[in-house]
């Protein structure tokens, strides 16, 4: 097993033994299940009327996609809380010097922490995704649109996790790491709000916003420009986190 995989497994186990992480996960899944049932009830009430409308939206558009979109909003709050202890917790427990002295490179440490945390988040995405998929046993689903939404949600979670790892590497306390990650994510989510109020919707500032690249996936559109955007965030954030570890390592020498 590679050293990166060892770090990832350790991070996964660390999250797995934390009641805080599982409590958050249980709350999120319960909220999503509640919304799913409410959306399904609303759809069943509308179904007789929709049958008389040509090209009316189906259960995918009225139940599945809104569920994934709402979960993306919850991830903005959830991921910083799950990643805040990645490095800040090690610093608070004074175990980070031991990790840095283990002979594992900074990039491998950051990547291992990232993979472990992202794996936990992807499990939550899978659990939420199963809710609308079970409807496939009784009705026709647009699996292509759901798959596109799931891909977008996974890329979105990957970017949020990388930002959380970066914030945790720079902050000395987990709470500060969570606040910093939330601030960065909120800035990226609302960076184009002012421009849109001015009627600007296709400028460079709009390209920087997270919703600009996430929303097409929920419409069933998969574009390389959106995939590259999320991957760039991941690469830049993890590179900055590794650079931060290099600084901390030089200070401890």
Rg (CA), the chain: 20
Domain residue limits at 39: 3-252
What DSSP string describes 107-145? HHHHHHHHHHHHHHHHHHHHHHHHHHHGGGGTS---HHH
Q: Is the pLDDT of residue 1 over 60?
A: no
- Which tens digits make up the pLDDT trace of 161-189? 999 999 999 998 999 999 999 999 988 88
Average pLDDT over residues 1-21: 81
pTM of the model: 0.91
**Nearby residues of 189 by Cβ (< 8 Å), 6 or more positions away:** 76, 209, 210, 211
Task: Give the separation between CA 63 and CA 68, rounded to whole angstroms.
Answer: 9
Running DSSP on this structure, what letter comes out for residue 101? T
How many domains is the chain built from?
A: 1
Report the pLDDT value the prediction gives residue 216, as an integer from 0 to 100.
93
């Amino acid at each position: 097993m590679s050293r990166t995989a060892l770090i990832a497994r350790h991070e996964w186990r660390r999250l797995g033994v934390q009641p805080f992480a599982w409590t958050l996960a249980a709350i999120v899944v319960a909220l999503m299940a509640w919304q799913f049932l409410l959306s399904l009830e609303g759809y069943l009430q509308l179904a007789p009327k929709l049958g008389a409308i040509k090209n009316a939206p189906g259960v995918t558009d009225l139940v599945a996609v809104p569920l994934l979109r709402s979960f993306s909003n919850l991830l903005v709050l959830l991921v910083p809380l799950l990643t805040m202890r990645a490095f800040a917790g090690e610093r608070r427990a004074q175990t980070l010097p031991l990790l840095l002295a283990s002979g594992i490179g900074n990039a491998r440490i950051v990547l291992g922490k990232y993979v472990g945390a992202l794996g936990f988040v992807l499990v939550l995405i899978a659990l939420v995704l199963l809710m609308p998929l079970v409807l496939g046993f009784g009705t026709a689903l647009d699996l292509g649109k759901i798959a596109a939404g799931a891909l977008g949600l996974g890329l979105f979670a990957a970017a949020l996790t990388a930002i959380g790892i970066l914030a945790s590497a720079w902050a000395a306390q987990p709470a500060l790491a969570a606040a910093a990650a939330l601030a960065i994510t909120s800035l990226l989510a609302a960076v184009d709000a002012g421009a849109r109020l001015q009627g600007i919707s296709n400028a460079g500032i709009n390209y920087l916003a997270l919703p600009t690249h996430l929303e097409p996936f929920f419409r069933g559109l998969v574009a390389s420009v959106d995939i590259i955007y999320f991957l760039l965030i991941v690469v830049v954030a993890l590179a900055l986190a590794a650079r931060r570890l290099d600084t901390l390592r030089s200070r401890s020498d």
